[in-house]
Structure 1
Amino acid sequence: MEALLCRKLGDPTTQPDSSENTALTVSTSHPIPKLTSPTSIRVRIKSTSLNYANYLQVLGKYQEKFALPFVPGSDYSGVVESIGPKVTKFKVGDPVCSFAGVGSFAQFIVAEEKDLFGVPDGCDLVAAGALPVAYGTSHVALVHRANLKSGQVLLVLGAAGGVGLAAVQIGKVCGAIVIAVARGTEKVEFLKSMGVDHVVDLSKGGVIESVKSFLKTKKLKGVDVVYDPVGGKLMKESMKLLNWGAQILVIGFASGEVPVIPANIALVKNWTIHGLYWGSYKVHHPSVLEDSLKELLSWLARGLITIYISNSYKLQEANLAFSDIKDRKVIGKVMITFDDPKSITSKL
């Protein structure tokens, strides 16, 4: 089968096999994974999502390290190709989606039955492949951890990226007043089209003045929940907008700088700081992920959320997808697909 291998840690934006020193190589004869237990399932992958974490994995800067060589990739969708003798929930041909620590940048992957989710009838399978990590992260953060309520003010940093756009949509589903922060006209106009209540364009000024002006217009005191996948200076500025009793969701550090949240101010203002490493729930509290993804798939089927895919690439073009991530060109999600993405739909 075809698979994208990380043979050495390095820059994933360099074209695979362009030299002997490239980090990535495309194997056309990688072994097809075998079923590992009576309840395991082999999935023929239709699409797999690129996340910032995958970029860090290849660079060797992710919090988890993997033995070389490894196949990167996390969330994916596809069709059941083979099942173990004790599988009862799925049959060959069923559309499914899931996530893995590594391994989805390949034509086949093996997963346990309990880790797969059926994709509802009519849902786009490429969209389903973009759902677990980005939308799962934002859903667990906002719904499970912050318990976001209708009427609360939600500030989303990095709002045009994968997890940011997911947070924007989930915030609206929860009935929150959503303030989105992004940079550049294209991203700002897109976020406006998503129905956010206010958009801050960082290319035209800082976040504080813009948000304070909006809050004053709406007679609101401040921000109740800040969702931060960016870190750095932007988070430092955003703290000046938070209400007493506000919640800070620490999602990641796309800026490359880990922000310092003063404990004395958190004490005085009764802030709650949530660190969220979504993947660790699979080990420590898997039922949270299961309930979250089931609700998200239901929302997707009902049209409550829409997954925007800015670009889809073939496996051999993975470097272009990684470049989109690195250069922050992505609005929503970027995907690797193994079929024409326009022709892949769920048929239960």
Structure 2
Amino acid sequence: MRTMRVHELSEDISVLRMDEVTLPPPRAGEVRLRLKACSINFPDILMVQGKYQFKPELPFAPGMEGAGVVAAVGDGVTKLKAGDEVVAGLRVGGFAEEVNIPADNCRPIPKGMDFIKAAAYPAAYLTAYVALVIRGNLQPGETLLVHGSTGGVGMAAVDIGKLWGATVIATSASDEKLKTVKARGADHVINVTRGFREEVKELTGGKGADVIYDPVGGDVFDESTRCIAWNGRLLIIGFTSGRIPTVSVNMPLIKGFSVVGVRAGEYGRRDPEAGRRNIEAIDRLAAEGKIAPHVCATFPLDHAVEAMRMLQNRQAVGKVVITMD
């Protein structure tokens, strides 16, 4: 079977190359998944560059999440059978036509979702759910400021924020991209290239945002500390700007806000029962039709680098997905 793999870490993601490999039979507790789609996430790029906290052994195929059809099951697997359509948490390995993974990492595709949307919703919505509901304790009537709102995790945060009854202010560096977020339900949109501190204060009557969702970092984080409300929660999702910011601790002391780190996957690894409940929550929302990712582009497997560059160059609006057929 074909797989796009990394044999050496590099800033240049074009080091990925197509390999032909033969998978062994699935081991006890595993299934072989014939992938139909795999979505791209920013950590996939960081892993190729050797910059992510999780560093898989070389060679490896990127791809944290996917959807497909069970092709075979190993000994002891009773809850899945060949032909089942599932969504899978992979961490790595998704840029491939097939993959052997633990059966426990698979679950049924939510009703009404195709393979492409099924591959694109888990990581983004799990991140948004854990950040806003579990870590951020977002309450109805609060104001939520979502940075990077035109990306996959940002759009998911807009959706979860609206579902939880918040007033959502969405930011991006592109007026054109913000039109999509506004159409999906954001109450207000702000182009951050002209700054956002004063506009957030104006929209909140001088109070500031109760919860700030920040996958960007850098200057955006710095300015966020200037427009957060008393008892606010500044949620650290990532650093797509490339700069990891710092904060003088007198700022949260004087303004009474919290800086909260969010790693949704690690949350589940450290507390598996809580992780299971969080996954069930987003799966339920998906099955009820309350959440669905915005997929802006799909690429075939042999164009995986092109797909990653779309994300890397800030051209994507929502999610980008690789398809295997």
The answer for the alignment partner of 1:210 in structure 2 is: 199
The answer for the alignment partner of 2:25 in structure 1 is: 34
User: Normalising to structure 1: TM-score of the pair?
Assistant: 0.89
Query: Which residue of the other structure, out of 96, 103, 116, is the alignment partner of 1:113?
Result: 103
Task: Give, in angstroms, the shift of residue 32 of structure 1.
Answer: 2.0
In the alignment of these two chains, the number of paired residues is: 325
Query: Which residue of the other structure, out of 307, 316, 324, is the alignment partner of 1:330?
Result: 316
Partner SS, residue 267 of structure 2: helix
Q: Is the 8 A contact 1:103 1:109 kept in 2?
A: yes
Partner SS, residue 317 of structure 1: helix
Structure 1 consecutive aligned stretches of length 4 or more whose deviation exceeds 4 Å: none
- 1:292 matched to 2:278? The reply is yes
**Cα 1:295–1:33 shift into 2, 3 Å:** farther
Task: Give, in angstroms, the shift of residue 54 of structure 1.
Answer: 0.2
What amino acid maps onto 1:338 in structure 2?
Answer: M
Partner SS, residue 240 of structure 1: coil
Q: Is the 8 A contact 1:5 1:70 kept in 2?
A: yes
The answer for the alignment partner of 1:256 in structure 2 is: 242
User: Normalising to structure 2: TM-score of the pair?
Assistant: 0.95
The answer for the alignment partner of 1:17 in structure 2 is: none
Q: What is the alpha-carbon distance in structure 2 between the residues aligned to residue 69 and residue 112 of structure 1?
A: 20
Query: Which residue of the other structure, out of 36, 42, 45, is the alignment partner of 1:52?
Result: 42
Task: Give, in angstroms, the shift of residue 276 of structure 1.
Answer: 1.5
Q: What is the alpha-carbon distance in structure 2 between the residues aligned to residue 300 and residue 50 of structure 1?
A: 19
What amino acid maps onto 2:114 in structure 1?
Answer: D
- 1:132 matched to 2:122? The reply is yes
Task: Give, in angstroms, the shift of residue 241 of structure 1.
Answer: 1.0
Structure number with the bigger relative contact order (C-alpha 8 A, sep ≥ 6) is 1
- 1:303 matched to 2:289? The reply is yes
Partner SS, residue 36 of structure 1: coil
What amino acid maps onto 1:5 in structure 2?
Answer: R
Q: What is the alpha-carbon distance in structure 2 between the residues aligned to residue 283 and residue 300 of structure 1?
A: 22
Partner SS, residue 233 of structure 1: helix
Partner SS, residue 66 of structure 2: strand
The answer for the alignment partner of 1:65 in structure 2 is: 55
Q: What is the alpha-carbon distance in structure 2 between the residues aligned to residue 278 and residue 264 of structure 1?
A: 28
Task: Give, in angstroms, the shift of residue 270 of structure 1.
Answer: 2.6
Task: Give, in angstroms, the shift of residue 12 of structure 1.
Answer: 4.9
Q: What is the alpha-carbon distance in structure 2 between the residues aligned to residue 244 and residue 131 of structure 1?
A: 32
Partner SS, residue 204 of structure 2: helix
Query: Which residue of the other structure, out of 183, 188, 194, is the alignment partner of 1:198?
Result: 188
- 1:87 matched to 2:72? The reply is no
The answer for the alignment partner of 1:9 in structure 2 is: 9
Q: Is the 8 A contact 2:7 2:16 kept in 1?
A: yes
Structure 1: runs of 5+ lacking an equivalent: 15-22, 340-348
Task: Give, in angstroms, the shift of residue 282 of structure 1.
Answer: 4.2
The answer for the alignment partner of 2:303 in structure 1 is: 317
The answer for the alignment partner of 2:252 in structure 1 is: 266
Q: Is the 8 A contact 1:72 1:104 kept in 2?
A: yes
Q: Is the 8 A contact 1:43 1:81 kept in 2?
A: yes
Query: Which residue of the other structure, out of 199, 205, 229, is the alignment partner of 2:215?
Result: 229
What amino acid maps onto 1:35 in structure 2?
Answer: P
Q: What is the alpha-carbon distance in structure 1 between the residues aligned to residue 145 and residue 23 of structure 2?
A: 44
Q: What is the alpha-carbon distance in structure 2 between the residues aligned to residue 12 and residue 179 of structure 1?
A: 35
Task: Give, in angstroms, the shift of residue 156 of structure 1.
Answer: 0.6
RMSD, matched Cα: 1.5
Q: What is the alpha-carbon distance in structure 1 between the residues aligned to residue 9 and residue 291 of structure 2?
A: 36
Q: Is the 8 A contact 1:41 1:82 kept in 2?
A: yes
| Percent of aligned pairs with the same amino acid | 38
Q: Is the 8 A contact 2:63 2:91 kept in 1?
A: yes
The answer for the alignment partner of 1:246 in structure 2 is: 232
